Amino acid sequence: MHHRYPCGSSRRDFLTGAVTTAATVPILGGLASAEEPESKPSPAFANVTHHGGPTEPRGKLGAPGLYPGRVVEVQNPSMIKNGVKNREAINKSMAAGLTKLTGSPDVTSAWRTFFEPGDVVGIKVVPNGQPYAHSSFELVLETIEGLKSAGVKTKDIFVYDRYRGEFMQAGYHKILPEGIRWGGLDPAGNQFQVDFPDFRDDPIAGFDKDAYVWMDLIPYGDNPKDDRLYRSHLGTLVSKVVNKIVAIPVLKDHGAAGVTGALKNMSHGSVNNVARSHSNNFTNVCNQFIPQVVTHPLIREKFVLQIMDGIRGVWQKGPFAVKEFTWEYNGLLFSTDPVAMDHVEWDIVDAKRVIEKLPRVGASGKIALDPLGTEGFDVRQPQHIALAGALGMGNFDFKSPRGRRLSIQHQVVKV
């Protein structure tokens, strides 16, 4: 069945329904260590049924990570001017943000807070929004250098997105150093993909039959007797190849989710069959889909560091980037807590929308406020951020009634 995507591109299909909390997930085993570190692929798996709800990461690095509620924002007006990025200024900002977040004396020590020799690391980029607002090449290259400084081998670094075509269209494969592996979980770029093509010659492509999230949620109009439609399987790279992931989301609004940041990059960038989360304007359930997927123990465990690219942001018509709706924000955000990071992002986007005389994202939609007549969904759903927080993925409140330990601490550093 053909579906028309309200985002205006077949890249962004979407879906309906109420969510139940059942997910089949693998259990993490222990990672072997040795005096001469070997690569650490994901450990062996055993199939169990996970009945939803809050899950705790087995390691200290799993979300909300080492620094729950802490978001360091670095503002540097030299990172981009008139559309031209300055790598030296970006690198300086990266160092300032990572050292501030970790309290480390230097940037190499900061990287070693999260990564060590033997790690196999994925770098999750966001290519859509190019050429104006995608994960900046400069940030990707600096992340690679940071991982190498922590002892991660070049052959054990994978730069990827879900969609190989968008990855290549953005040009990442052209700028990566020799030896870095790259690609997409889904080479075909199919939002409704539910089968398992054979990608045995591609270490990045493919989805894991044994690791998935189950929801009573299928694309509107499809056959409810097809049980494949109820599952979103983790990419094999995520479930079986890497043991840690550093994510580089982008500061953007989103027509269905309100904003797209750390959480949506984790959910929609890690599994197949994502179109069911918002397949048309009246069946938008990002509020349920995103929190459900990111609480899968493997996803929660492996995303250990978030570096949000706010060098150039998108304040309307995201997740893609129409130049007139982008602005040079000149900021980078650093956190291990995806909920806290996305709440800060939400506020930044809303502040810009107010300046541009548009309603805040939570009040926008086809049947809500739509002054430009361009909304694709009945009502946007940025509340997925708070709901992920309620499931233990991070801190949502700036002033939590349960004390500072559960509050967001947003610290701005000017460089």
Average pLDDT over residues 289-301: 97
**pLDDT band (50, 70, 90) for residue 209:** very high
Which of 33-42, 159-168, 337-346, 402-411 is least confident?
A: 33-42
What is the span of the domain harbouring residue 369?
A: 70-414
| Domain presence at residue 60 | no
**pLDDT band (50, 70, 90) for residue 190:** confident
Name the β-bridge partners of 157.
Answer: 121
| Domain presence at residue 129 | yes
| Domain presence at residue 312 | yes
- Listed in sequence order, the residues at least 6 apart from 128 whose beta carbon sits closer than 8 Å to its beta carbon are 11, 134, 166, 170, 319, 320
Closest CA to 274 of 253, 298, 257: 257
Indicate whether 34 pLDDT > 50: no
Indicate whether 52 pLDDT > 70: no
pLDDT of 8: 44
| Domain presence at residue 38 | no
Determine the 3-state secondary structure of 408 from DSSP.
Answer: coil
Chain centroid, CA 35 distance in Å? 34
**pLDDT band (50, 70, 90) for residue 203:** confident
Overall domain count for the chain: 1
| Domain presence at residue 188 | yes
| Domain presence at residue 121 | yes
| Domain presence at residue 315 | yes
Answer yes or no: pTM beyond 0.95: no
| Domain presence at residue 23 | no
385-413 pLDDT, tens digit each: 999 999 999 999 998 777 677 899 999 99
Which of 16-25, 279-288, 319-328, 344-353 is least confident?
A: 16-25
* Higher pLDDT, residue 356 or 44: 356
Indicate whether 297 pLDDT > 70: yes
